[in-house]
Chains A and B, each alone.
Chain A
């Protein structure tokens, strides 16, 4: 890999890791809802702009490794969960950008993947923790809550949760696309 690519990966990977370690840890401590989506959205903007600046194959995945390492070091000891989550995000977006190239479609497909991944991750980690009953219990709860309270309240709450998870990364992809246009003169190498 060229020196220029390595430096670019280190710079943008560190930026991503810095955001994860500072804003991410702050959101985690405050226990704010949708913190995963907020972080994924910021990460997506960094990833997409960095990929245009440095279109080297594998650069997004390597950026994720750098960011994940910084995030892991930001705790007293290595935490596997955030490490795996960031590396997985990087790997998925890398695959999308390899297949679709970082054009309009690639940007929005990346947004969609980034939107769906936290939901999938929640399902997988909670299933590992609480067993295969977790998803059926959540669905039962939505149904039970709807029938007791009425107005399909349980389903609305679940739907709102999923929509909020999806909409932020999609907006981030749109923002990154607009930002790309503004930065176009700087992106020509």
Chain B
């Protein structure tokens, strides 16, 4: 998007320019800055409601004039320096204004908006690292939990510095093992990366079914996302839906459903209780989002590549994104990429025979992660 059409840019500019007028016209400038920030997004001023924000400011305005400068005035019998009071008052106004500036710059700025910046500056491993890190996160939590419980039990038996030292060294040993296991697991079977896959694909004719198979956490979605990126960079038309796992601040997970061609998204799952009868493991699915996903798949036209991430029990039972998938494969002459859990792979043939008979004749490629 052009920066000059960005409301964030203009509000930031107004506040930045306002900072220069703050000293000469403080009482006129500050309401303008506040107004601009609220007009941009009311959330920008929410942190100001928190009392902690005012601790440093109160210290600055109330304490400094009492202990510094010439004590030329008095209030309730307490002497203070009016010059220092003016100085710290201005510092406070400036502090609030600069805080607003940063709030405008960062409010509602999600990690998805930050990620492309890293790619633009040439840091291509960021996506791989970030996705890998998302998958490792639950393992780290369980290692730390297990070690803490162990430590607590031993601590009750007898306290010593050695015990603390052992606690930390055990944690690190666990992480060395985890790191080794994850790297070896990859060495044991060489996974075809999307780049090599595309090179090999050049000689084959559509329609094709490409099945990306792997357990939870093996990187099926990152693999597909990398493929989409490569296809887009080759000017191929690619569409479909991706189910992206996201982390909430309170250690909960959810999935966003993303339409590839438009970047529109809906929250697909939650670990909270909601009014739904669609559940997979600990995740509850929003019915509206499932319907939305199907609508997106039905609306796909003239795309050479279609991605449907991820096919599972719901589709096998006739629900989930089956309706959309059936629409995609009708008269399709391109490459259909689906992802599926390792444990469900054995039922794929039956599923295709029963629910997607047109796909039976298609050439099939299996990518094992």
Q: Which residues of A contact B (CB under 8 A)?
A: 1, 3-4, 6-15, 17-18, 21, 25, 31, 45, 49, 53-54, 62, 65-66, 69-70, 72-81, 128-131, 133-134, 137, 140-141, 143-145, 148, 154, 175, 178-179, 182-183, 186-187
4 A-B pairs with the lowest CB-CB distances in the bound complex, closest first: A144-B67, A144-B68, A10-B132, A4-B183
Check A66–B133 contact: CB distance below 8 A: yes
**Among A9, A154, A179, which residue has its beta carbon within 8 angstroms of that of B129?**
A9
Q: Which residues of B contact A (CB under 8 A)?
A: 52, 55, 60, 63-64, 67-69, 84, 87-88, 90-92, 94-95, 98-99, 102, 105-111, 113-114, 118, 123, 125-126, 128-130, 132-133, 136-137, 140-141, 144, 165, 168-169, 172-173, 175-176, 178-179, 182-183, 186-187, 247, 249
Check B67–A137 contact: CB distance below 8 A: no
Chain B residues in 8 Å Cβ range of A9: 129
Chain B nearest CB from A38 CB (Å) reads 15
Chain A nearest CB from B201 CB (Å) reads 23
Check A130–B173 contact: CB distance below 8 A: no
Chain A residues in 8 Å Cβ range of B63: 141
Tell me the dominant secondary structure on chain B's binding face: helix
Chain B residues in 8 Å Cβ range of A78: 106, 109-111, 113-114
Check A79–B106 contact: CB distance below 8 A: yes
Check B64–A141 contact: CB distance below 8 A: yes
**Among A15, A54, A183, which residue has its beta carbon within 8 angstroms of that of B140?**
A15
**Among B60, B92, B98, which residue has its beta carbon within 8 angstroms of that of A128?**
B98
Could you show 29 A-B contacts with beta carbons less than 8 Å apart?
A: A3-B187, A4-B183, A6-B125, A6-B132, A7-B132, A7-B179, A8-B179, A8-B183, A10-B136, A11-B178, A13-B129, A13-B133, A21-B249, A25-B249, A53-B179, A66-B129, A70-B133, A77-B106, A77-B108, A78-B111, A81-B102, A129-B95, A129-B99, A130-B94, A133-B87, A133-B91, A137-B68, A137-B87, A148-B67
Check B175–A15 contact: CB distance below 8 A: yes
Kindly state the separation between the CA atoms of A8 and B144 in the bound complex, as whole angstroms: 17
- Given known A14-B137, A129-B99, contact A62–B87 (CB-CB < 8 A): no
Residue of B with least CB distance to A31: B52
Chain A residues in 8 Å Cβ range of B178: 11
Check B141–A18 contact: CB distance below 8 A: yes
Kindly state the separation between the CA atoms of A77 and B248 in the bound complex, as whole angstroms: 11
Chain A nearest CB from B163 CB (Å) reads 13
Check A72–B111 contact: CB distance below 8 A: yes
Chain B nearest CB from A187 CB (Å) reads 8
**Among B67, B111, B168, B183, which residue has its beta carbon within 8 angstroms of that of A141?**
B67
Chain A nearest CB from B26 CB (Å) reads 13
Chain B nearest CB from A58 CB (Å) reads 10
Kindly state the separation between the CA atoms of A55 and B227 in the bound complex, as whole angstroms: 31
Chain A residues in 8 Å Cβ range of B88: 137
Chain B residues in 8 Å Cβ range of A12: 175, 179
**Among A6, A18, A72, A131, which residue has its beta carbon within 8 angstroms of that of B94?**
A131
Check B137–A18 contact: CB distance below 8 A: yes
Check A179–B165 contact: CB distance below 8 A: yes
- Given known A7-B132, A76-B249, contact A18–B144 (CB-CB < 8 A): yes
Kindly state the separation between the CA atoms of A125 and B60 in the bound complex, as whole angstroms: 15
- Given known A10-B136, A13-B133, A179-B168, contact A137–B60 (CB-CB < 8 A): yes
Chain B residues in 8 Å Cβ range of A49: 172
Chain B nearest CB from A87 CB (Å) reads 11
- Given known A73-B111, A78-B109, A145-B67, contact A134–B183 (CB-CB < 8 A): no
**Among B55, B114, B137, B173, which residue has its beta carbon within 8 angstroms of that of A72?**
B114
Chain B residues in 8 Å Cβ range of A11: 136, 140, 175, 178-179, 182
Kindly state the separation between the CA atoms of A128 and B99 in the bound complex, as whole angstroms: 9
Check A45–B133 contact: CB distance below 8 A: no
Chain A residues in 8 Å Cβ range of B99: 129
Kindly state the separation between the CA atoms of A54 and B176 in the bound complex, as whole angstroms: 10
Chain A residues in 8 Å Cβ range of B98: 128-129
Check B133–A141 contact: CB distance below 8 A: no
Check A182–B165 contact: CB distance below 8 A: yes
Chain A residues in 8 Å Cβ range of B125: 1, 6, 62
- Given known A3-B187, A10-B133, contact A69–B91 (CB-CB < 8 A): no
Kindly state the separation between the CA atoms of A31 and B56 in the bound complex, as whole angstroms: 12
Check A134–B169 contact: CB distance below 8 A: no
Kindly state the separation between the CA atoms of A78 and B169 in the bound complex, as whole angstroms: 33
Kindly state the separation between the CA atoms of A129 and B19 in the bound complex, as whole angstroms: 11
Chain A residues in 8 Å Cβ range of B102: 80-81
Check B133–A17 contact: CB distance below 8 A: yes
Check A77–B110 contact: CB distance below 8 A: yes
Chain A residues in 8 Å Cβ range of B144: 18
Chain A residues in 8 Å Cβ range of B169: 179, 182-183
- Given known A15-B140, A137-B60, contact A74–B249 (CB-CB < 8 A): yes
Chain A residues in 8 Å Cβ range of B129: 6, 9-10, 13, 62, 65-66
Kindly state the separation between the CA atoms of A75 and B126 in the bound complex, as whole angstroms: 20
